[in-house]
Structure 1
Amino acid sequence: MSKKHSPATTVIGIDIGGTGIKGGIVDLETGTVLGERFRIPTPTPSTPQAVAKVVKAVVDELSTRSNAPSDDAPVGITFPAIISHGVARSAANVDESWIDADVDEIFTKEIGRDVQVMNDADAAGLAEARYGAGQGVKGTVLVITLGTGIGSAFIYDGKLVPNVELGHLELDGFDAETKASASARERDELSWDEYAVRLQRYFSHVEFLFSPELFIIGGGISKRSEDYLPQLKLRTKIITAELKNNAGIVGGALQAAVHFKLTK
């Protein structure tokens, strides 16, 4: 569609996950979600056609609200995959038929609006850099999400370097996320002390490779950060994310607003 849009103060953001598709109306000034988020379970199987219909249903519900942006405003969408020029190059927790699918085109056609699609971890990182724990930090900020796998976002001077898959670094002969993710801790029944040893190995390696100014830890396990973060010995400051479960929605909306020049 690629029409010209008027400057906006709010944008709809949609965060697609393996179990749920949630969305909200984002205030671009503050990075907050206005009102309640709206969530629909991710369909099974999570094929492009099925997911697109759910995304449209979420957008339609949010569009009925009094503080919704105009009906032709673009929508920001996060997706659990490597996204290159709107095309999925992987598929994490969604149907493999998404690989090499033009995600941008599929959602644009279904919703009937311009969309901007990005990787879900990148969206969370962008949100933290603009509105959260990384706000105003110069140099390299690495946002690491510990969950089913390890997601990552690379921010430099507030700008996103997309699709940096630091969860897939090889470490001691293994894919790092198979040993240091939150799900690996549960699978291997590790105590917090034992888990901290694995995290130390992972973060020391990432620190050596990139010398970041700041690590920001996200994912559900960040709520228990007091059980493991104090045990990590790093040169780099390491803190927890501030936007919690809204980070994907906020980052997706922000990316759409920047891409379509609704905001800087």
Structure 2
Amino acid sequence: MVREKKRRSGGRRSPFAAIALIGAGLLITGGVYAGATAAMAATDTKTQATAELTVDDGQKLFQANCATCHGMNLEGTGDGPTLIGVGELAVEFQMATGRMPLQMQGPQAPQKHPQFTDEQIRAIAAYVQSVAPGPTFPKDEVLDGKGDVAHGAELFRINCAMCHNVAAAGGALTEGKYAPALTSTSALHMYAAMVTGPQNMPVFGDMNLSDEDKRDIISALLFQQDAVQIGGFTLGSLGPVSEGLFIWIFGIGALVALTVWITAKSN
């Protein structure tokens, strides 16, 4: 009788075990279903956005967000220049770098996080290109970074370093304007800047720099972005300004401190 009791008590299961097992099964099933649904929804949304964003969608986006300053027909207003002839390359550059839409008037439009998705920007650019064609996107080989780095560095020093600094670290211009740093700029935006001449930058047409020259400059800048900095602190790569300030503060400061210490010791 005692042995039978032991066997029966050992074979019993708690009533909460079945509940816990059912709950775990429901939780796992629900998690898998939710994950699969979210993945499918994201894929559908992406496909739908890509399929729906046409030139007509670009026109609607332009009229809702850009026409206030640039006019309903790209003719420009007192608050913004005309976009006739600027082309899709300029539109992509200005919007993808966050310079447009402009938040406030100033000496220069600052770079910031873009307010539109890549698909929306391409749609608006396609609309502008369809109304008044202009500079368009280059061939892939121009942006591949496989040009002549040495020749590109020489061209950069001759044509660009006076504003962007020889190390592409950027620099100040007149009246609150500035040449931005190129240390993280993409190849497409380097090309777009040379072709469209945004802000205070001049336009480098084929008569100034051929596509092969532009490819070499882009290759040199991409090489410089990936290069390992050697020789100690770069100090922003701003040349004698930051270097002189460093020497003045730390070098002369150390000499003054040493002089004070020697004088105190002698007394």
- TM-score category by the smaller chain? under 0.3
Structure index of larger Rg: 2
What is the TM-score normalised by the length of structure 2? 0.27
The structure that is strand-richer by fraction is 1
What is the TM-score normalised by the length of structure 1? 0.27
Answer 1 or 2: higher relative contact order, Cα 8 Å, separation at least 6.
1
The structure that is helix-richer by fraction is 2
